[in-house]
Structure 1
């Protein structure tokens, strides 16, 4: 592969960093001709002409995680982490419009009756767990502190006994694999809801790239299976049920696609959860093929933040440790403002 250094472009005049933390409608019909004119003005070629094929993988840059008043806003240490990250992310996309071949945004996608939502679980009094404050471990099920809500079996098309066995196996499997315990999350990223959508400013930048480069945006859905979590876009947290039947599959087509790119740049939310676990799964796949492929992965460290709930939980150290491990494996930790040389 030929070496390539990014030639940075100016930021288009429509971008307003003050609006990144708000939800609004992208004016597609106005932006499309502007993107075409911008490409002509700056001699931006179609993505099909790229000799070095670069993918920008955006992890869950959705309102639910990135807008302060939404369900699982990732504030990071500063309290405004995801908003500040997305200002830098938008600017990165615009400045590097001419060299990003394809943008792949992942979309965390949920419905109400899923194993990590309150309605799935009840205690002896029929009460649901408090979201974000409840972790469920095998001992909780063994002691009867939490059990599967009998009311969800009908809607999920499952036998209740099957659900009980599955839930216990699932929670135990998470513990054995050394993952985070099952966290009961607030209802978030709800399919059909506004929280599921990309952040408006990021959506606009992604659309602008699509039109300017004649490169179709590739949206990847994750997390929609009711019986497993999917922090990583590449695979569910648990692959097999108690009966050894598959729960859900790895995203083998995306894995292969990422391995085939000359460079993969990764940003998004949250650094401690969905970003870290996606990168970790990608590294696992790379190790099975050729560890040298790790050198073509670039992590935008200033476009991602860890989960921090002041006085409750702080995953900063865990996120930083994961990124150090990725760097030790050969991945490059970079800032969105620097010019990047791809080899």
Structure 2
């Protein structure tokens, strides 16, 4: 049986569209909760066919360059989530950093950061504070966490967890590196250890949230920085990931491009049939 590895990207409570009286997710992705349930079912049913699991955790502080609460508008109030900050409106002071004391070096850094993003043709979106370290929102979805715990018990293998996003001055969508790495922070550089771990697989299943952002950027980095043969090992579990609202068409285009490169897209049910003989329970 081939060495099948599972990469789970940011399958955390704050991205799940599931609310209770005690907890409301900060950044729910429509469909994410059901994605987690399908992934948990896959692990529960055919986990014996999965040789290793790596799970990333989006991990933020309250103060973060990409949080809307870290900014102020001309009116002195926090801009609404999903606002776009550009070089032009930063220079015009329509948006400014909210910290009580902002140094000229920090302003210069942010201006340079925005300019680099525009050169990369990337928008700078302000997100609501989410996946704050130590909060319920930072935790994995409960059903998925239980499935992984059971998988560890039955296989005697630990899940490898990787936190990303703790640097407050740069964005970290990909599991492999920050959008603009900080030369003084190794954690924002290309994670060669993770890349090598993924490369050891014969088949790499990819699931998580959101397909439009963290999943997409992780796949793109795998294709850019991984060995040439790695892309032929990828299997994108399309029913175990969902896009942020408004990015549905972009994800469909991304999936079309992946297929054109010969990368496989499949459902969890299709993969389950391949991991163990039909009707065999884990």
TM-score (structure 2 length as normaliser): 0.90
Cα distance change, pair 341–119 in 1 and its aligned pair in 2 (3 A) = closer
Q: CA RMSD of the aligned region, Å?
A: 1.7
Q: Which residue of 1 aligns with 2:84?
A: 135
Q: How much does 1:329 deviate?
A: 2.1
Q: Which residue of 2 aligns with 1:334?
A: 266
Q: How much does 1:94 deviate?
A: 1.5
Q: Which residue of 1 aligns with 2:97?
A: 148
Q: Which has the larger radius of gyration?
A: 1
Match of 2:29 among 65, 70, 74: 74
Q: Which residue of 1 aligns with 2:208?
A: 268
Structure 1 gap segments, 5+ residues each: 5-51, 76-80, 154-159, 309-313
Residues 259-299 of structure 1, C-alpha deviations (whole Å, 9 max, x = no match):
1222110001111111111111111113xx32x32111110
- Give the Cα separation in 1 of the matches to 2:200 and 2:161: 18
Residues 61-120 of structure 1, C-alpha deviations (whole Å, 9 max, x = no match):
100001433111111xxxxx1122122111111122111111111100011111011232
Q: How much does 1:146 deviate?
A: 0.8
Structure 2 gap segments, 5+ residues each: 20-24, 277-282
Match of 1:251 among 171, 174, 191: 191
Q: Is contact 1:138-1:171 (8 Å) kept?
A: yes
Following TM superposition, the consecutive aligned residue runs of length 4 or more in structure 1 with deviations greater than 4 angstroms are none
Aligned length: 267
Q: Is contact 1:276-1:323 (8 Å) kept?
A: no
- Give the Cα separation in 2 of the matches to 1:84 and 1:302: 9
Give the secondary structure class of the aligned counterpart of 2:193.
helix
Cα distance change, pair 334–152 in 1 and its aligned pair in 2 (3 A) = farther
Give the secondary structure class of the aligned counterpart of 1:323.
helix
Does residue 198 (structure 1) correspond to residue 109 (structure 2)? The answer is no
Q: Is contact 1:57-1:103 (8 Å) kept?
A: yes
Give the secondary structure class of the aligned counterpart of 2:114.
helix
Q: Is contact 1:148-1:163 (8 Å) kept?
A: no
Q: Is contact 2:50-2:275 (8 Å) kept?
A: no
Q: Which residue of 1 aligns with 2:241?
A: 304
- Give the Cα separation in 2 of the matches to 1:67 and 1:341: 29
- Give the Cα separation in 2 of the matches to 1:246 and 1:140: 28
Cα distance change, pair 109–152 in 1 and its aligned pair in 2 (3 A) = farther
Does residue 115 (structure 1) correspond to residue 65 (structure 2)? The answer is yes
Deviates more, 1:112-121 or 1:101-110: 112-121
Q: Which residue of 2 aligns with 1:84?
A: 34
Cα distance change, pair 331–341 in 1 and its aligned pair in 2 (3 A) = farther
Match of 2:6 among 56, 66, 74: 56
Does residue 316 (structure 1) correspond to residue 248 (structure 2)? The answer is yes
- Give the Cα separation in 2 of the matches to 1:150 and 1:226: 13
Cα distance change, pair 253–152 in 1 and its aligned pair in 2 (3 A) = farther
TM-score (structure 1 length as normaliser): 0.74
